Structure 1
Amino acid sequence: MRVTQKNLLNHRTKTPVPLTAMGFGAASLGNLYRAMTDAQARETVDAALNAGVGYFDTAPFYGLGLSEERIGKALAPHKDVVISTKVGRLLHDCPPAQATPEMYVDVPSRKITFDYTYDGIMRSFASSLNRLGSARPQILLLHDIDAGTHGKEKSDAHLRDLFDRGGYAALSELRENGDIAAIGAGVNDWKICEQLLGEADFDCFLLAGRYTLLEQEALDSFLPLCEARDVGIILGGPYNSGILATGAVAGARYNYEPAPPHILAKVQSIADICAAHNVPLIAAALQFVMGHPAIRSVIPGAANPAEIASNLAVFQTAIPAGLWSDLKSAGLVRADAPCPKE
């Protein structure tokens, strides 16, 4: 069985940008936490393609360019797939002692600077095109412009660069010229997405981890606004960085930190109801997000073909409607959260 398709829109032209409902988050191809070979990266992408995945998300940050390079080589022959990449970080070759790989291992010796001005956006885009080769991105996302990444003072300065120093004008120009089909932002905070929508015209947002079985505050205002304006959401981090995949086990991580006791207890309660319906917790977590009409694609990561197969299996697990109603009755999921149909 192959994954289904939904569309983003370029709001200037009303041109659809097709996304498969399950996409591929390519941070792992940048050697996230552990190294893989180029051959292993190609095998993983090929497995996703064979499963019917037609949307791939990458970024300069992922492996300091390594993910983009591997995505470019693997997808060059596949002109019918959609690729998104990101702008905001510039990569500079440097001596190893000055490199900023963060959580990526065995990657090129490069350091990062942030730049959301007109020149920074254009330079970042040109560099991404060089790394991607003949595989061309259709979606361009501002990467990590939120206060959670930079702190409020620096985030505000980056927003001034975006709107007062030409950053948004660069995005708009690329979209108007047809270099990019859709523009948006890839962030970990729905509030900055709502703020961006109040300032300018965006087609989509890649929202990581802020609408899940554990977090539904985005229902208050942001997701209804996206639905009203037909702004598509690509959902990353559906497992809140792990705990909704592993369950409430020792060492479980919630939003990249050790899960606190109240989160462990809530996850265990959700898992108990899932078990009563013979549904794996991970399947409920992955499918729940697709119940909201604003969400066009969910992009779980994968580091090998076996994880691609596992993602596809849990995405296609049959889930009875009674599971969602029981979670709502127990107060574990908001009553106003749209859920997938049985």
Structure 2
Amino acid sequence: MPGNAAPRRLGKTSVMLTPVGLGGGPMGDMFENLDEDKVRATFRGAWDAGIRYFDTSPWYGRGLSELRFGEALRQRPRSDFILSTKIGRTFHRPKDVDNFKGPFWYGGLSFQERFDYTYDGVMRAYEQSQMRLGINRIDLLLIHDLDVPHVGSADLVAQHFLDLERSGWRALEMLKHYGEIQGIGAGVNVLGTIPEMLKRFDLDFFLVAMPYTLIDQGPLDLEFPLCEERGVGVVIGSPFASGILATGAGVPTPYYRYTPAAPEIIEKVRRIEAVCAAHNVPLKAAAFQFVLRHPLVASVISGAVTPEQAAENVSLLGVAIPDAFWSDLRQQGLIDARAP
């Protein structure tokens, strides 16, 4: 990795993360059915580039991402990398085995998911993950997708929060107390989740998947100050905002938050690109380095499906960005004045 890529401590934990990690969403066949040789080459490329933090989930491809991560990482010394996965869903044989087609994933495995944040659900998800990975030690375990867009309604979110409070959290605490995991986190997709979580649970970190990017810095109002008060660390997912900060605004259909970008988002990115051009700064490098400038952020993870993409993500840290670039973004109101 570039010289400015020393490992960073994750909040108050003893876990040290490389500032660039590999995210597992695309490895679940998010956009296409990936060739297995291509998958193996991507993992080798990520490792050769210096990436040592790997994040996956049972949800990614309904188990496929974990299978692929496990195959790649079992070949490496266990002490040489940090691995995180997630709880909140368990996976089961579908009722209609022959005709099952799960939602969201282009490919993936033919298993039916169930949301379950109870003690038994947490333990079952954790054990299922270990078996899919073929790895008997998971460093970080996250509460996954406890929000309306994923669960389906505010009432269901409230019920799952109750399940966590009544029993699921005890399972996570026990796993940490007995040294099976080193930290407990939660994935965040929308504003408001962090305050709700911190009211109830003594979390170690959050994986912020969308709300904090070069486009939007909403967590600076409440979420990040709360984390700072409690020594809670942050990992950033989706630094490219699901597409537009990688492709730019000029492609036929730029994507933001996994849907076609609205006109106002396209216009804002065009203005950011103009500042990039004035300072000869690649948009991708600006997006990556911006989120890492915040002192709470230990790592930024992005999906890759080729060795070249994995290596490029790491190389973005080495791009020189002048202070005047960030000053111009602030002066034009394109980033929050409070952003580091």
How much has 1:148 moved relative to structure 2? 2.5
TM-score relative to the length of structure 1? 0.94
SS of 1:140's equivalent? strand
Deviations for 1:41-66, whole angstroms, at most 9, x for unmatched residues?
12111111111111000000111111
Tell me which amino acid in the other structure corresponds to 1:38: E
- Counterpart contact for 1:72–1:135, Cα < 8 Å: no
Q: 1:269 aligns with which of 268, 271, 276?
A: 271
SS of 2:138's equivalent? coil
Which structure 2 residues correspond to residues 76-155 of structure 1 after superposition, within 5 A? 76=74, 77-79=76-78, 80-94=80-94, 95-105=97-107, 107-134=108-135, 136-150=137-151, 151-155=153-157
- Counterpart contact for 2:188–2:210, Cα < 8 Å: no
How much has 1:134 moved relative to structure 2? 2.7
Sequence identity, in percent?
44
Question: Which runs of at least 4 in structure 1 moved beyond 4 Å after TM superposition?
Answer: none
Deviations for 1:167-202, whole angstroms, at most 9, x for unmatched residues?
111111111111111001113124212211111200
In structure 1, C-alpha distance between the alignment counterparts of 2:281 and 2:136, rounded to whole Å = 38
Partner of 2:302: 300
Partner of 2:198: 197
In structure 2, C-alpha distance between the alignment counterparts of 1:135 and 1:276, rounded to whole Å = 50
Partner of 2:215: 214
SS of 2:99's equivalent? helix
Is there any run of 5+ residues in structure 2 with no aligned partner, and where? none
Pair 276,195 (structure 1): closer, same or farther in 2 beyond 3 Å: same
How much has 1:101 moved relative to structure 2? 4.6
How much has 1:313 moved relative to structure 2? 2.2
Deviations for 1:229-264, whole angstroms, at most 9, x for unmatched residues?
221111001111111111112210111111111111
Pair 96,243 (structure 1): closer, same or farther in 2 beyond 3 Å: farther
In structure 1, C-alpha distance between the alignment counterparts of 2:201 and 2:62, rounded to whole Å = 29
Deviations for 1:202-240, whole angstroms, at most 9, x for unmatched residues?
001111011011111100111112122221111001111
TM-score relative to the length of structure 2? 0.94
SS of 1:233's equivalent? strand
Pair 92,337 (structure 1): closer, same or farther in 2 beyond 3 Å: same
In structure 2, C-alpha distance between the alignment counterparts of 1:138 and 1:293, rounded to whole Å = 22
Partner of 1:51: 49
If asked which structure has higher relative contact order (CA below 8 Å, sep 6+), I would say 2
SS of 1:109's equivalent? coil
In structure 1, C-alpha distance between the alignment counterparts of 2:229 and 2:337, rounded to whole Å = 20
How much has 1:135 moved relative to structure 2? 5.8
Tell me which amino acid in the other structure corresponds to 1:57: D
- Counterpart contact for 1:96–1:109, Cα < 8 Å: no
**What is the total number of aligned residue pairs between the two structures?**
332
Is there any run of 5+ residues in structure 1 with no aligned partner, and where? none
Tell me which amino acid in the other structure corresponds to 2:333: G
- Counterpart contact for 1:99–1:111, Cα < 8 Å: no
**Root-mean-square deviation (CA), in Å?**
1.4
How much has 1:109 moved relative to structure 2? 1.3
